[in-house]
Chain A
């Protein structure tokens, strides 16, 4: 018995040694290959346009892995570039690593974060092909970031628990504690969530800080559930754990596609006469300045801008593509042209990013879960 155990241990550990050594070599060779390839590409590129890509690409993504991984796999399949991804990364990681740049491309679901990084000179602009397919208001000045898909905030609700006319219709309705009284209450995300940060920034633009703080305090106190992500909210509302929840519109699309628990509806907020319009935001990507695999990063962004891949970028998230020529992958999605959208230029979000985080932190919503 003892011998067998010893043998097992030895086997496992020697496997570990092999693994460590093997991994070591792989990494080194991969790194070298990447560097060489990048250098070569640089040289070759000056002479002729079409080049075979090689090596690797490091992508930091603030989005949920499920919405991004398929896109990255598609890129690897078509170009042979190995993509190493860090999902649900915080934009500030780029700032922290400014002296030791790791990422090549940053994908975010909050334009505020992208514009903030741009203002900190952490992103680099260039003129990729087909960038004109995206309206200028959805790009940074020199294309430091480019938005691909848009979303609007609103309430997903469970039709078995609450009817459409019982639902709140405006963001400011949540200032009222009465919504804590609905059956099973409502759900929001933690304040550290990118979507929530964008939402709060938009409210600050509209209302100023004082009223926004009041709003944060109100939802923090009255929400029945505070979740880490929006996916949790749509599942919880679909299952009847909460009557409604504050999410982006595409989570509603996702829940409708579920085989069960899909009797849900959606309210775009503030659509009435004289109201501010739905809070919009977009998901996009940017080239990190000083990217270790700069060539691959540029190639990736150009690749994403191909129309087929713009749709792949939208992918399973079921957002609405910003390119007006593209059919939304989710057919019943309300086109942005039919929505009343808040009149704030989305770039504006970047100016609010940092103070918004401080505001949320002061309220304590960033650490609240329930």
Chain B
């Protein structure tokens, strides 16, 4: 109560300072009461609030700028794009998104079911092995698939050597530079998202439901479709959203496999400095993203599946019986094409590259650039995420919700759009930072801050607000509570978040490509350039390094789901 009074009098003074004597005290008191109502009587300190508002502003500004630019692009640009370009791009993008999402869900759920619920040999090991494709960024995966299945790839050589294949089917039939090439690569390197979420959900599933179903005479497959699948629906939905958002935003794999979606088109338009067209296409992509997020929010509200936890029994393990060899073949097959094949191709070319001396001072310079810019982004994210999650969890209100939601804006949207906005803003309004690597780091913060927030929030939710209150009652001011009590307790969570941001930044391609200053190439940029010049022995060491770094947060991801 005392606290509130203090706050109140302070606010009174502030108001006075601002508006002078023109307003009557009655109005001031009214504003004050409203303000306290918004915060449910617990407003944050002005510094905390300012930081929160600042972050929210920075996070949303690139997107607002793109929207504004696209609306002022002029009817001309709009008509031309709407008539000729957007329908084709829409078809390319949506068909790919739909197909990849569908097949990734199919593969992810089926693998999760086999690995979690059946007596598959070595199921403990498979549980994390099936998640391994996550460490291979799709553009790296695309490179390895071009090396193996491309028109001059190893598979073609093999095909041409086997005469009966030639005689029977004619020339080498695989065209990796096609819809199906992109579809395959994206499916193989994104299905683990569904796999992880579905396995977590399957593990938590209560056996009682199944027992009831079985007592009613249902077969295992009937149970799967009538009991398991409906209970899995939230998990499938969450996985599908992740994957469709990913497909909408991917640039590297799609560009390498010569397919053009909205993201790629925006990149090319911006590379040719046709900014109005790039903005218009961006706006359409933003709308697509919002539609997907809206669908998710809607389905989540509509379908609630409750499982009672007080009678929880661990699900039993089903015997595969005669299906065992087939299941093993399936699981091992996916593992081969999604992990063994790309990794061995990378190792093969890395060895060639190493003997040819491509791992030289230049290479380490690129690696250093990657570490520098990603490290800076990770630190910034850790520093900025902490006040925001504190604000959200300790001072819940409409305002902190808005700040929280705005912080996710850059995360949901493709990197090309964020980069497009950053270029505008820095070139025209902050020229001192334009063309420095700070610009890339800030773009990474806009894109990946929510990763640090999520991981910090998980930690903070374990710290009772009573801890804060106890510290406050012992005479610490709010900022000291934060530094002395809260931060030390949630530090592991924040660091884990920082690591996630670090790895995402190392892998990031489109924003880095668009924003890199002259003479500042990162590993990801080099891999992209060298692979597109077919200099695989130069591209492979960098790609392998990126894969190795990506293993760091895998441990965290596996625990999270």
Contacts and interface: CB of A to CB of B under 8 A. Distances in A.
Interface in A239-258: 239, 241
B376 A16 contact: yes
A41 to B, nearest CB: 21
Contacts of A100: 427-428, 431, 434
Interface in B349-393: 368, 371-372, 374-376, 378-379
Interface in A93-112: 93, 95-97, 99-100, 102-103
- Chain A CB count within 10 A is highest, among B85, B265, B428, B519, for B519
Contacts of A58: 518-519
A92 B372 contact: no
A227 B255 CA distance: 11
A20 B260 contact: no
Given A27-B436, A65-B529, A367-B260, A8 B552 contact: yes
A299 interface: no
Contacts of B275: 96
Contacts of B265: 367
A9 B272 contact: no
Given A103-B518, A370-B258, A192 B268 contact: yes
A12 B499 contact: yes
Contact of A102 (B89, B273, B434, B492): B434
Contacts of B496: 9
B272 A6 contact: no
A368 B260 contact: yes
Contact of A15 (B80, B264, B375, B435): B375
Interface stretch (A81-89, A165-173, A276-284): A81-89
B4 interface: no
Contact of B495 (A9, A93, A229): A9
Interface string A133-152: 00000000000000000000
A9 B499 contact: yes
A369 interface: yes
A128 interface: no
A70 interface: no
Given A27-B436, A93-B273, A367-B265, A16 B151 contact: no
B427 A97 contact: yes
Contacts of A9: 495-496, 498-499, 552
A19 B152 contact: no
Contacts of B502: 12-13, 16
A322 to B, nearest CB: 26
A20 B517 contact: no
Contacts of B441: 20
B39 interface: no
Contact of A231 (B178, B431, B533): B533
Interface string A10-32: 10110111011011000100000
A202 interface: no
B519 A83 contact: yes
A139 B372 CA distance: 42
A367 B151 CA distance: 22
Contact of B151 (A12, A241, A369): A241
Contacts of B371: 12, 15-16, 19
Contact of A12 (B177, B264, B375, B428): B375
A13 B498 CA distance: 8
B259 interface: yes
A362 interface: yes
B222 interface: no
Interface in B394-444: 427-428, 431, 434-437, 441
A97 B273 CA distance: 11
A13 B534 contact: no
A10 B273 contact: no
Contact of B379 (A13, A27, A84): A13
A330 to B, nearest CB: 20
Interface in A217-251: 225-229, 231-232, 235-236, 239, 241
Given A60-B518, A361-B274, A17 B268 contact: no
Interface in B81-122: 84-85, 88-89
A235 B150 CA distance: 12
Contacts of B269: 366-367
A9 B493 CA distance: 12
A32 to B, nearest CB: 14
B532 interface: yes
Nearest to A183: B171
A5 interface: yes
Contact of A13 (B274, B375, B492): B375
B555 interface: yes
Contact of A90 (B273, B436, B492): B273
B271 interface: yes
Contacts of B533: 64, 66, 231
Contacts of B534: 231-232, 235
A58 B269 CA distance: 24
Contacts of B376: 16, 19-20
A79 to B, nearest CB: 16
B80 A16 contact: no
B410 to A, nearest CB: 20
Nearest to A65: B529
Given A58-B518, A231-B533, A16 B378 contact: yes
Contacts of B436: 27
A153 interface: no
Interface in B238-293: 255, 258-260, 264-265, 268-269, 271-275, 277
B446 to A, nearest CB: 17
B435 A357 contact: no
Contacts of A20: 372, 375-376, 379, 441
A345 interface: no
Interface string B536-561: 00000000000000001001000000
A364 interface: yes
Contacts of A225: 177
Contact of B152 (A8, A103, A241, A357): A241
Given A102-B434, A239-B152, A369-B259, A10 B378 contact: no
A86 B519 contact: yes
B273 A92 contact: yes
Nearest to B88: A364
Given A100-B428, A366-B269, 8 more contacts: A12-B499, A13-B378, A13-B379, A13-B498, A19-B372, A96-B427, A241-B151, A367-B89
Q: Lowest 10 A-B CB distances belong to which pairs?
A: A16-B375, A84-B519, A92-B273, A86-B518, A19-B372, A369-B258, A20-B376, A100-B431, A241-B151, A84-B518
16 contacts: A10-B495, A13-B498, A16-B378, A16-B502, A17-B375, A19-B376, A20-B441, A60-B518, A96-B273, A99-B427, A190-B268, A361-B277, A367-B269, A369-B255, A369-B258, A370-B258
